[in-house]
A and B are shown apart, each in its own frame.
Chain A
Amino acid sequence: MSPGELICPAGTPAALRTAVDAGADAVYCGFQNATNARNFPGLNFTPDELASAVAYAHSKAAKVLLALNTYPPAGKVDLWRSAADTGARLGVDAFIVADMGVADFIARTYPDMRLHLSVQAAASSPEAIRYYCENFGVKRVVLPRILTIPEIRAIRKEIPCEIETFIFGNHGLMVEGRCSLTNYLTGQSTNMDGVCSPASDVEFIRHGDGTMSSRLAGFSIDCFGCGEKAGYPTICKGRYTAPHRSDPYYAFEEPVSLNLARLLPELIDAGVHAFKIEGRQRSKSYVRSVVSAFRTAVDDIRAGRPANITDLVALTEGQKQTQGAFASKKWR
């Protein structure tokens, strides 16, 4: 049976301790630079902080996974190599990688280090996953959030490594590692800089009629009526016009978050080894409540007890939820 490992976000040392205390089997984190895909101001770890974090996690039998999951632009590869060197020296339990050059460097330099294939590598077929397993010794793949559960179950039978899927948090709908939307508008790249819709480029403009626009680098991403709560201007969650439509519409997806709580038993049954909770940018209290609720649910399901799914569903704090691609091909 799937061990149902819970992989939890740690944007700060405090969040890491919180996640470990709440029952995380592993936490994932990154350094304060472009080597990881959540290179946001105020987040992530210095090498000293990571050293303490590894010691704390290991004292509670939890693992630390270091995200090195961006794509170094030519000329800057040393930053990624040096991050890998530091991570290996500090005794992290695995690296999460996407770039073939980074994967090759780690596989050659640290052959005993565990490699996980990041969602940023966009490996969505057994063949693509096997390519990384055979060439770099990848032990686990984080699947893109574009597959249905029957598809995941089928993939599981054809690959030699563990599967990790997202279960909760941001609903990324573009194939990750293949998205340059942010760079097109802002000049900062998701793949190369680890930046997505950066706060430094965000503005909220209140209009005379009481409506509010959210903008990214001067482009309106959405406009909200007086009664509406203004959302963050993420490009793929904005409203746009199209020639044949009378009103602006969510061309890609509504501002919903992913919550697979109800699918948890099915995912465990499909052989998913580990579940990833998204949200390195989230607060300690958010991490505590989400991690402990999922801990209880996973333990209940594995022990054959009915899980209290209602608590998990309530976690999204009034935000609209989706099961995205996982529940049905109709999402596509």
Chain B
Amino acid sequence: MTKLTLGPIAYHWSAETRRDFYARIADEAPLDEVYLGEVICSKRAPFHEPDLPDTIARLERGGKKVVLSSLAEVMLKRERKATEDLVALESHEIEINNAAGLLARGKCPHRIGPFMNAYNEAAITWMAGRGARHICLPTELPVQSIRIAAQVARELGLGVEVQVFGRASLAVSARCYHARAHGRTKDNCQFVCELDMDGMPLGTVDGKPILRVNGIQTQSESYVCLLAETGQLAADGVSHLRLMPQAIDMVAVAQAFRAVLDGAMPAEEAGASLRDLCGTAPFSNGFYHGTAGHEFVAEVR
């Protein structure tokens, strides 16, 4: 049975927003697994880490398995320490997003996050030999490669995950573009990224929406949406489908995907309700179909 997961929150949502968000997710969302932890900016972690034990307990009471995700960029002392502490955990499964975490984890079981660049069967085989039990494939991988990667991963006994909803991570940097947009630098950012719960929109000079800024991360303007592709993904051996949290009703998003996965609702119908939930955000599935990532390709039937 294909599992539905919720990826870590990419944005700097306040502690209160997170508490409310996860309370609803725990009680109402038809999700199997939830990833927690700050993946983008180590400066944000102190704001929500104190709530982590309660959030974990709440989600587990709601029947969700909790996985803890590590930072994508590890450069500073505090980032190295945070990574080291996380991978030392034995209480929960962990998802590693930087090779620094792989070193410390050794051959102890772990998950490979989407920032680890598990693009192919050779890399996946290597990672499996070093303790990986689950791989989240890169968002830009096209269907032909997903199929081959998933087959090899399943043969090795690994779980395989693909992002099916939410903005795609397109780049990370050492520079904070949120701070830059407000005339600041990363060290004196004053957490201006908290203003944009769904990322700060960038438009082209002629007014076309194009990208979103989230601190050091650059995201797609479009929400990746592989609702119509869920059947094919499952048939190809993808075991876990990941929804990335956006500032919309994520419980309803999870319900739409669940309904399609369970065969309770046709993808067209669920797609229409998903469309209503997502406001003006365009949908895209171009990466999956091997074309420009921002494009939306209607399924050929």
Interface residues of A (CB under 8 A from B): 71-77, 98-102, 104-105, 121, 123-128, 130-132, 134-135, 144, 146-147, 151, 173-175, 177-181, 183-187, 189, 191-192, 213, 217, 219-223, 236, 239-245, 248-249, 251-253, 325, 329-332
Contact = CB atoms under 8 A, between A and B. Distances in A.
B177 A175 contact: no
List 5 A-B pairs, minimum CB-CB distance, nearest first: A101-B122, A146-B174, A101-B123, A184-B293, A127-B100
A180 B122 contact: no
Contacts of B176: 332
A72 B74 contact: no
6 contacts: A180-B138, A180-B170, A185-B292, A191-B140, A329-B185, A330-B185
Contacts of B171: 174-175, 178-181, 236
Interface residues of B, number: 77
B207 A241 contact: yes
Among B79, B169, B170, chain A packs the most CB atoms within 10 A around the CB of B170
Contacts of B109: none
Given A223-B206, A236-B171, A329-B187, 19 more contacts: A73-B120, A74-B141, A74-B144, A98-B117, A101-B120, A127-B99, A146-B175, A151-B75, A175-B73, A175-B172, A180-B168, A183-B292, A187-B290, A242-B200, A243-B200, A244-B182, A245-B181, A248-B205, A332-B185
Contact of B102 (A77, A124, A131): A131
A144 B147 CA distance: 32
Given A72-B119, A125-B80, A175-B174, A243 B201 contact: yes
A228 B17 CA distance: 46
B175 A74 contact: no
Interface stretch (B50-58, B210-218, B243-251): B210-218
B146 interface: yes
Contacts of B201: 242-243
Among B121, B174, B175, B210, chain A packs the most CB atoms within 10 A around the CB of B174
A125 B103 CA distance: 11
Contacts of A213: 205-206
A331 B175 contact: yes
A229 B127 CA distance: 48
Contacts, number: 236
Given A131-B99, A146-B174, A191-B119, A222 B180 contact: no
Contacts of B175: 146, 173, 252-253, 325, 331-332
B172 A101 contact: no
B125 interface: yes
A217 B120 contact: no
Contacts of A329: 185-187
Contacts of A221: 204
A185 B287 CA distance: 10
B142 interface: yes
A220 to B, nearest CB: 4
B173 A174 contact: yes
Contact of A100 (B123, B138, B148, B286): B123
Nearest to A172: B173
Among B115, B206, B292, chain A packs the most CB atoms within 10 A around the CB of B292
Contacts of A121: 99
B205 A128 contact: no
A104 B220 contact: no
Contacts of B291: 187
B172 A99 contact: no
Contacts of B123: 71, 99-102, 104
Contact of A74 (B79, B127, B148, B292): B148
A295 to B, nearest CB: 30
Given A74-B120, A128-B98, A251 B293 contact: no
A192 B98 CA distance: 19
B149 A74 contact: yes
A71 B208 contact: no
Nearest to B151: A74
Interface string B153-187: 00000000000000011111111110011100111
Contacts of A217: 292
A143 B290 CA distance: 31
Nearest to B176: A332
Contacts of A252: 173, 175, 177, 180, 218
A221 B206 CA distance: 9
A239 to B, nearest CB: 6
B139 interface: yes
B122 A102 contact: yes
Contacts of A71: 117, 119-120, 123, 138
Given A73-B119, A213-B205, A251 B144 contact: no
Contacts of B9: none
